[in-house]
């Protein structure tokens, strides 16, 4: 069934939004996600729900929290949402909410339950089986950052309840087979994707305006990173690398798009290194336009990744990528062809790779063009979403037989 390449305290419940009427012949798919925050998994689920062929699929969403910035976007799209505010995966509240989920799946005649994270692999997958949902899909969209050992152990057992486990990269798929002991024929790869809009650069005036808002002077060389400001993203190494380059490249500026708990320490480091005029904290920004178009070089220096949206967005923008050789990054960036891969937590290697691209504008252009071609061929929505839709239909057909 492989697709693509392999491929406690009780809280008040949020009332369910009114549901759209189901078309008689459409496949009813329920996406199960943990929260409505702005993260890679959450954004990927939302964008997928928005873009599935609505002549064939009727999508609803089940969320284990009842608030978050993405909630309103689901509402604007008219996508039905069931909130099941769950604080623990065990206890009386979990049983009550699980029973409610099972009733929802049964009364709405849901055909496919698709869990997107470890919590729903455990919670929604089990209750979907109890509700006799025809097709149950689990996911692995992470490398090694499951927060607790108990979750990792239970999650492995939860995979056994699923008809299929989706990985978002080939490397993650291999982890499922090797470490989680999922049979290879029950693993499918459906990668993150970008829309056509990610390839379209803003007008020169728009680019200048956006950079001006970030106080980046005209004519600067811009290195950019789009990632949450969390320790696993290791912005510290990137800032340290920029500090080593800045004396030789006085027009060099670093733009960090994102926010998170590491921001105070990163701002402190920036001050200590005398880079307050060089490093620009852009905060959380809208996904459109694709902000990688603002950069000359895009960087992602995480210590752990599965398959980051940011890398694919950078490639779509035609930018050479300097990234760490970890997790599923190697499934996107082809070393020496679409960018450079360096060891994690090694600021000197980051600086060397970035400087080579600063020295050679022709190489920047060559690698960026190759990156855009690869993004269009492998990670465009027109390639990825039909593979996911075919997977749903194939699993339903197999279950019917």
Name every residue whose Cβ is closer than 8 Å to that of residue 209 and which is 6 or more positions away in sequence.
none
Angle between helices 235-245 and 347-359 (to 10 degrees): 50
Q: Which pLDDT value is given to residue 148?
A: 81
Local confidence pLDDT in tens for the 401 residues of the chain? 444 444 333 333 333 333 444 444 799 999 999 999 888 899 999 999 999 999 999 999 999 998 889 999 999 999 999 999 998 899 999 999 999 999 999 999 999 999 999 999 999 999 999 999 999 999 999 988 777 888 989 999 999 999 999 999 999 999 999 999 999 999 999 999 999 999 999 887 788 899 999 999 999 999 999 999 999 999 999 999 999 999 999 999 999 999 999 999 999 999 999 999 999 999 998 878 899 999 999 999 999 999 999 999 999 999 999 999 999 999 999 999 999 999 999 999 999 999 999 999 999 999 999 999 999 999 999 999 999 999 999 999 998 87
Q: What is the largest CA-CA distance in the chain?
A: 67
> What is the reported pLDDT for 161?
96
**What is the distance between the alpha carbons of residues 280 and 185, in angstroms, rounded to a whole number?**
47
* Residue ranges matching CATH 3.40.50.2000 in the chain: 27-193+381-400, 196-378
List the CATH code of the domain at 196-378: 3.40.50.2000
d(CA 62, CA 114): 10
Q: Which of 37, 27, 44 is nearest to 384 (CA)?
A: 44
Exposure string for 115-154, b = 16+ CB within 10 A, e = fewer = bbbbbbbbbbbbbbbebebbbbbbbbbbbeebeeeebeeb
- What is the pLDDT, as a whole number, of residue 40? 86
Q: Are 69 and 39 in contact (CB under 8 A)?
A: no
Predicted pLDDT at 242: 98
Q: What is the pTM of this model?
A: 0.88
Q: Are 179 and 144 in contact (CB under 8 A)?
A: no
For the record, the structure tokens of 190 come out as 């459906």
Residue 65: count of CB within 10 angstroms of its CB: 18
The per-residue pLDDT for 395 is 97
| Right CATH for 27-193+381-400 from 3.90.180.10, 3.40.50.2000, 3.40.50.300, 2.60.120.260 | 3.40.50.2000
- The pLDDT of residue 18 is 36
């Amino acid at each position: 069934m492989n697709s693509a390449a392999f491929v406690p305290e009780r809280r008040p419940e949020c009332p369910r939004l009114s549901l759209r009427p189901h078309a008689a012949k459409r496949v009813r798919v329920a996406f199960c996600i943990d929260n409505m925050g702005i993260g890679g998994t959450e954004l990927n689920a939302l964008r997928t729900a928005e873009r599935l062929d609505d002549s064939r699929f009727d999508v609803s969403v089940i969320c284990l929290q009842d608030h978050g910035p993405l909630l309103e976007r689901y509402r604007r799209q008219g996508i039905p949402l069931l909130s099941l505010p769950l604080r623990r995966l065990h206890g009386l509240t979990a049983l009550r909410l699980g029973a409610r989920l099972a009733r929802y799946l049964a009364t709405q005649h849901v055909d496919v339950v698709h869990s997107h994270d470890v919590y729903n692999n455990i919670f929604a997958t089990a209750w979907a089986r109890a509700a006799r949902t025809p097709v149950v899909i689990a996911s692995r969209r992470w490398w090694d950052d499951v927060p607790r050992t108990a979750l990792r152990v239970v999650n492995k057992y939860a995979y056994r309840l699923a008809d299929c486990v989706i990985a978002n990269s080939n490397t993650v798929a291999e982890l499922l087979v090797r470490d989680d002991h999922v049979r290879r024929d029950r693993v499918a790869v459906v990668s993150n994707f970008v829309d056509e809009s990610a390839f379209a650069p803003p007008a020169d005036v728009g680019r200048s305006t956006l950079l001006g808002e970030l106080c980046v002077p005209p004519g600067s060389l811009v290195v950019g990173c789009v990632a949450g400001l969390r320790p696993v993203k290791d912005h510290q190494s990137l800032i340290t690398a920029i500090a080593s380059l800045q004396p030789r490249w006085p027009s060099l500026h670093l733009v960090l798009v994102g926010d998170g708990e590491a921001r105070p320490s990163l701002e402190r480091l920036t001050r200590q290194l005398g880079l307050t005029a060089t490093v620009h904290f852009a905060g959380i920004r809208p996904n459109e336009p694709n902000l990688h178009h603002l950069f000359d070089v895009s960087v992602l220096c995480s210590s752990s990744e599965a398959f980051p949206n940011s890398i694919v967005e950078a490639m779509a923008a035609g930018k050479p990528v300097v990234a760490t050789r970890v997790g599923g990054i190697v499934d996107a960036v082809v070393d020496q062809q679409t960018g450079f891969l360096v060891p994690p937590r090694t600021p000197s290697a980051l600086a060397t790779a970035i400087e080579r691209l600063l020295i050679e504008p022709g190489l920047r252009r060559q690698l960026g063009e190759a990156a855009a071609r690869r993004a269009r061929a492998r990670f465009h929505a027109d390639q990825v979403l039909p593979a996911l839709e075919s997977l749903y239909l194939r699993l339903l057909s197999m279950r019917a037989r």
